[in-house]
């Protein structure tokens, strides 16, 4: 950058720009200039190469009217030089003391399309950019600059300090708010090849009652629905294509009581459910059932039975056509909620239907646990033991922990405290192997009840610490209950 040569103090000055000196004067310290020889037919080779590298300007659409007004301002130097002479470019920043005139900045809107314009005298530049007050251009053709991309920096305020948020930081996904209709339609396009192919498939499934073009337009509108109700075509698409396997697997994980989702702190579970229990996932039959069951389980963990009831009703409404493991899950939670083992009568048949082996083993262990609870109330301990022994040694840690915990209770009732304590410790160990904090707390509570006070005080303290760390009110109340083990009906403490 070079400063412009000093102009003649007596030279006339226009209403808008000062007049720069003639080309014959020495350059000295001045701004960045592209000097063009005034003599016709002569061109400096260096200047020519610079002009070739200058690029067209891009100006935001909102500036068009302002630019038109700027063009109308007379230069005040008419008739004194070339028609396309020097143009003084200045900033609208009030902090620039040498700016001769202010004008409103152009509209910089991230969502505005950019347009190419030419034949203007001046334009606005963002005030935080470089100081271009004294930039002078002497081009043969109109030259403008390319505006930079408009970027908004988020800030995080922490203890009075602000720090920028890097949207491109690893692991950061700005603006993502869960599985949306846009995600769903994008998945359909990836599966079918194109949006037109998806529309054709839907039209064919409906015996061409609807025009494929109309269906395609409806799917485009569906993409903009976010996580709102998908309407008619959202429901039809879900019925025809279902959900991605990964999305269904995630909701199944949330809805299964024997998954580690229930071992998360309850506030974290609530946050995840607020994110996931929305359309389109909440409108697809299998996912809707699992999400309703997850909501009911969360309410029971809060010890809020009244809040669990509507979620169970919603789960019943979504059960038709659901996979067998989902229907078995519903039966177990309803049986626990009503304390009625008669509701579990259809469960053995469901467990015989196709499902994942680990899910079948855990569902079977929970069925055994609830049935044994009823037998223990009647004193039929031998029947309960037979049920617990039906859980195989190759079962997942969750099932093995429930088996050991149930047998520990039976050994305690049979006046065999050493065996009972060993089985309770085994139950805690299996729960730890599987990462199941809730049933580990149950096993520690069982150990405390077997050992009694003061030997069992440490085990009870650890159990209560787990309940509090999970914000699990139901477990906390159960572990703090000062009821002697001798009057307890059984070890069952969850669906």
Mean pLDDT within 239-253: 95
3-state SS string over 389-435? HCCCCCCCHHHHHHHHHHHHHHHHHCCCHHHHHHHHHHHHHHHHHHC
Domain assignment present for residue 448? The answer is yes
What's the rounded Cα separation, in Å, for the pair 295 and 308? 7
What's the rounded Cα separation, in Å, for the pair 482 and 495? 22
Domain edge (last residue) among 242, 266, 292: 242
Q: Are residues 98 and 233 in the same domain?
A: no
* pLDDT, tens only, 85-97: 444 444 444 444 4
Domain assignment present for residue 321? The answer is no
Domain assignment present for residue 440? The answer is yes
C-beta of residue 489 within 8 angstroms of C-beta of residue 377? yes
Mean pLDDT within 301-305: 96
Does pLDDT of 140 surpass 70? no
- Dihedral pair phi/psi, residue 87, rounded to 5°: -125, 125
Mean pLDDT within 317-322: 92
Domain edge (last residue) among 134, 153, 172: 153
Domain assignment present for residue 317? The answer is no
Choose between 400 and 116: higher pLDDT: 400
Does pLDDT of 63 surpass 50? no
Burial of residue 445, with CB atoms counted within 10 A of its CB: 0-12 exposed, 13-18 middle, 19 or more buried = buried
Q: Are residues 484 and 401 in the same domain?
A: yes
* pLDDT, tens only, 164-183: 545 455 555 555 578 999 99
Q: How confident is the model at residue 454 (pLDDT cuts 50, 70, 90)?
A: confident
Q: Are residues 21 and 143 in the same domain?
A: yes
Q: Are residues 148 and 185 in the same domain?
A: no
Domain assignment present for residue 252? The answer is no
Q: How confident is the model at residue 51 (pLDDT cuts 50, 70, 90)?
A: low
Q: Which residues contact 314 (CB under 8 A, 6 or more apart)?
A: 288, 292, 295
Task: Give me 326's structure tokens.
Answer: 């989902």
* Domain total in the chain: 3
Q: How confident is the model at residue 43 (pLDDT cuts 50, 70, 90)?
A: low
Q: Are residues 99 and 213 in the same domain?
A: no
Domain assignment present for residue 486? The answer is yes
* pLDDT, tens only, 362-396: 999 999 999 999 999 999 999 999 999 999 999 99
Does pLDDT of 468 surpass 90? yes
Output the pLDDT for position 136: 44
Domain edge (last residue) among 137, 153, 169: 153
CA distances from 430 to 359, 367, 463 (A): 17, 19, 15
DSSP reduced 3-state for 104: coil
Q: Which residues contact 192 (CB under 8 A, 6 or more apart)?
A: 198, 201
C-beta of residue 466 within 8 angstroms of C-beta of residue 447? no
Lowest mean pLDDT among 64-68, 225-229, 256-260: 64-68
What's the rounded Cα separation, in Å, for the pair 60 and 48? 29
Run of H or E residues at 156 = strand 154-158
Query: How many other C-beta atoms can be found within 10 angstroms of the C-beta atom of residue 379?
Result: 11
Q: Are residues 56 and 185 in the same domain?
A: no
Q: How confident is the model at residue 455 (pLDDT cuts 50, 70, 90)?
A: confident
Domain assignment present for residue 394? The answer is yes
Q: Are residues 489 and 397 in the same domain?
A: yes
Does pLDDT of 354 surpass 60? yes
Q: Are residues 79 and 120 in the same domain?
A: yes
Does pLDDT of 196 surpass 70? yes
Task: Give me 160's structure tokens.
Answer: 């009075």
Domain of 48 in residue numbering reads as 1-153
Q: Are residues 388 and 491 in the same domain?
A: yes
Residues in the chain: 495
CA distances from 20 to 2, 12, 38, 88 (A): 14, 11, 14, 9
* pLDDT, tens only, 273-288: 999 999 999 999 899 9
Provide the pairing of β-strand 161-165 with 154-158: antiparallel
Output the pLDDT for position 262: 96
Burial of residue 92, with CB atoms counted within 10 A of its CB: 0-12 exposed, 13-18 middle, 19 or more buried = middle
Does pLDDT of 218 surpass 90? yes
Choose between 38 and 396: higher pLDDT: 396
Residue among 317, 332, 338, 394 at smallest CA distance from 369: 332
- Dihedral pair phi/psi, residue 22, rounded to 5°: -70, 160
Q: Are residues 429 and 491 in the same domain?
A: yes
Does pLDDT of 308 surpass 50? yes
Q: Which residues contact 141 (CB under 8 A, 6 or more apart)?
A: 51, 84
Domain assignment present for residue 312? The answer is no
Q: Are residues 6 and 90 in the same domain?
A: yes
Name the residue with tokens 């009217």. Answer: 65
Q: Are residues 78 and 1 in the same domain?
A: yes
Task: Give me 73's structure tokens.
Answer: 């301002």
* pLDDT, tens only, 387-433: 999 999 999 999 999 999 999 999 999 999 999 999 999 999 999 99
Q: Distance between alpha carbon 48 and the CA centroid of its chain, in Å?
A: 53
DSSP 343: G
Name the H helices within 302-396: 305-317, 324-338, 347-351, 357-377, 381-389
């Amino acid at each position: 950058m070079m400063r412009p040569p000093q102009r003649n103090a007596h030279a006339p000055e226009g209403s808008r720009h000062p007049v720069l000196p003639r080309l014959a004067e020495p350059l000295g310290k001045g701004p960045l200039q592209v000097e063009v020889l005034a003599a016709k037919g002569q061109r400096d080779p260096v200047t020519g190469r610079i002009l070739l590298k200058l690029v067209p300007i891009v100006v935001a659409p909102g500036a068009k009217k302002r630019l038109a007004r700027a063009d109308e301002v007379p230069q005040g130097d008419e008739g004194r030089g070339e028609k396309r002479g020097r143009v003084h470019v200045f900033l609208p920043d009030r902090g620039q003391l040498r700016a001769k005139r202010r004008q409103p900045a152009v509209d910089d809107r991230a969502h505005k399309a950019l347009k190419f314009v030419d034949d203007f005298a001046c334009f606005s530049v963002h005030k935080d950019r470089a100081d271009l007050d004294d930039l002078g251009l002497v081009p043969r053709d109109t030259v403008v600059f390319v505006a930079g991309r408009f970027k908004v920096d988020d800030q995080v305020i922490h203890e009075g300090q602000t720090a920028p948020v890097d949207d491109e930081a690893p692991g950061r996904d700005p603006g993502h708010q869960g599985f949306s209709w846009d995600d769903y339609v994008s998945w359909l396009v990836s599966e079918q090849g194109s949006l037109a192919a998806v529309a054709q498939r839907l039209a064919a499934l409906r015996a061409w009652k609807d025009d494929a073009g109309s269906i395609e337009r409806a799917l485009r509108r569906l993409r903009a629905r976010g996580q709102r109700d998908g309407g008619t075509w959202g429901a039809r698409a879900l019925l025809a294509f279902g959900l991605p396997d990964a999305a269904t697997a995630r909701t199944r994980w949330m809805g299964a009581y024997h998954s580690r989702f229930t071992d998360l702190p309850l506030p974290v579970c609530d946050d995840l459910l607020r994110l996931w229990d929305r359309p389109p996932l909440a409108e697809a039959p299998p996912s809707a059932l699992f999400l309703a069951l997850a909501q009911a389980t969360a309410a029971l963990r809060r010890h809020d039975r009244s809040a669990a009831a509507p979620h169970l009703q919603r789960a019943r409404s979504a059960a038709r056509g659901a996979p067998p493991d989902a229907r078995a899950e519903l039966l177990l939670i309803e049986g626990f909620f009503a304390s009625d083992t008669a509701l579990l009568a259809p469960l053995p048949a469901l467990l015989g239907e196709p499902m994942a082996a680990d899910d079948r083993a855990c569902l079977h262990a929970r069925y055994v646990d609830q049935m044994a609870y009823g037998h223990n109330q009647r004193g039929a301990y031998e029947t309960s033991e037979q049920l617990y022994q039906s859980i195989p040694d190759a079962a997942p840690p969750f099932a093995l922990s429930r088996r050991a915990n149930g047998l520990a209770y039976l050994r305690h009732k049979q006046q065999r405290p050493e065996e009972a304590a060993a089985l309770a410790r085994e139950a805690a160990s299996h729960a730890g192997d599987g990462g199941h904090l809730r049933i580990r707390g149950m096993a520690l509570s069982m150990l405390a009840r077997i050992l009694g006070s003061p030997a069992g005080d440490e085990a009870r303290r650890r159990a209560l610490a787990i309940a509090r760390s999970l914000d699990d009110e139901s477990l906390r109340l159960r572990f703090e209950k000062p009821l002697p083990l001798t009057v307890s009906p059984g070890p069952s403490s969850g669906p």
